[in-house]
Amino acid sequence: MASIEEMMCRYLEANEERLLSYWMEQVIVSPEENAELIYQNGKEMYRLVLLYLRKQINKEQIRLLSHKVAHERVQAGVNIGDFILNVSLGRSAIFHHLYELLIPLEHLQPIINTINDCFDIFLHYAVSKYTEYKDHDLEEKKQFIQQTHKDRLTILGQMSASFVHEFRNPLTSVMGFVKLLQREHPNLKYLDIMQHELEQLNFRISQFLLISRRGELNPSIESFPLRTLTDQILEFIYPSIAYGDVEVEVQIEDTITLNGNRDEMKQVILNLILNSIDALQEVPDHKRVKIEAAATDQAVTLTVENNGPAIPSEMLIAIFEPFVTTKDLGTGLGLFVCKQIVEKHGGTIHCDSTDEYTRFTLYFQRQLIPVELSCKSCKP
């Protein structure tokens, strides 16, 4: 008399086409997939179950089929959830017809456990391989994106070097003549505006220049009061503050100092404040920028906060990447440059944005900068 396992195998052999047709009526077939290929893979899996019940295959042979199917699913761009569902439907199709055998459940349970084991092994190997393929694809795309960024930055650096050479000399001359006019004709209208706009243009050029250098940290390092630097920046951009009808609140104690390159840190703070003013253009009233600093023996924390609209979460993730911008005419380089400068000073910068505020937080450990820079400045 045949064993229950053999009875089950003979039943599966005799009803192969019927069960596979029942399964194909339920599976999800995406537009990118080949229904015939799905059917053939289902047929192979069906026969694997037969062989597994007869103990004629091992886990390694199940793994080979699972890897083949996983590769095909990745190539077809199939959602992993659809893939798992289709495999599970194959298991359910077998169990759905087991009642036809008229075998008591207590005798059928070991067979059910064996079939479950076969499907579980297959799913484990298939999903693991599918994930491996997907991770590999993502890594390749990530490397491609990074290389694209590097290529674009290289081109930008070359363009910047040429641009600065051709443009900065006449710009410096114009700025010098404006200063002479201010001395000779202090009451002449619009000179202050001209001076401010020329300095803003010079500032934008400096952003490109920092990128084209690929930025070794400027060796001109000093300890300077953060409040004094902030006040100088606010005085410099006062026309923008007044024109934007922005209220600026500064809470920085006179005793708080930073170690680093004053001009580069000025670039960072200036950029963050100007970004805040730009963001507040969408706010009808009560436009506010708040600049705060706190210090301990170990670190200095600086925050620049505005009450403008929230930055979308998908953009917030990449906001410090080059060429990412929320402005219609922005270059997407300002925050990238800020991050470069802050990190070269041994610090970190991150952004939080809600419906109530957008806040940039800079954190500097006091002991990192002097040690690192003293080594650089000691180079022969």
Q: What is the pTM of this model?
A: 0.49
- Residues 164, 205 contacting (CB under 8 angstroms): yes
- Residues 230, 290 contacting (CB under 8 angstroms): no
Q: For domain 220-377, give the CATH superfamily.
A: Histidine kinase-like ATPase, C-terminal domain (3.30.565.10)
Residue range(s) of every CATH 1.10.490.70 domain in the chain = 4-143
Q: What pLDDT is recorded for position 224? A: 92
Give, as one character, the DSSP assignment of residue 356: S
Tens of pLDDT, residue by residue over 29-47, are: 877 667 887 888 888 888 8
Neighbours of 96 (CB within 10 A): 13
All residues at 6 or more sequence positions from 95 whose CB lies less than 8 Å from its CB, including other chains: 112, 115
Q: Worst-scoring range by mean pLDDT, 128-132, 165-169, 286-290, 341-345? A: 165-169
Q: Name the band, by pLDDT with cuts 50, 70 and 90, for residue 367.
A: low
Give, as one character, the DSSP assignment of residue 54: T
Q: What pLDDT is recorded for position 52? A: 86
Full DSSP string of 226-246:
HHHHHHHHHHHTHHHHHHTT-
Residue range(s) of every CATH 3.30.565.10 domain in the chain = 220-377
Q: For domain 4-143, give the CATH superfamily.
A: Histidine kinase N-terminal domain (1.10.490.70)
- Report residue 17 as tokens: 């086409």
Q: Name the band, by pLDDT with cuts 50, 70 and 90, for residue 376.
A: very low
Q: What pLDDT is recorded for position 217? A: 45
Q: What pLDDT is recorded for position 32? A: 67
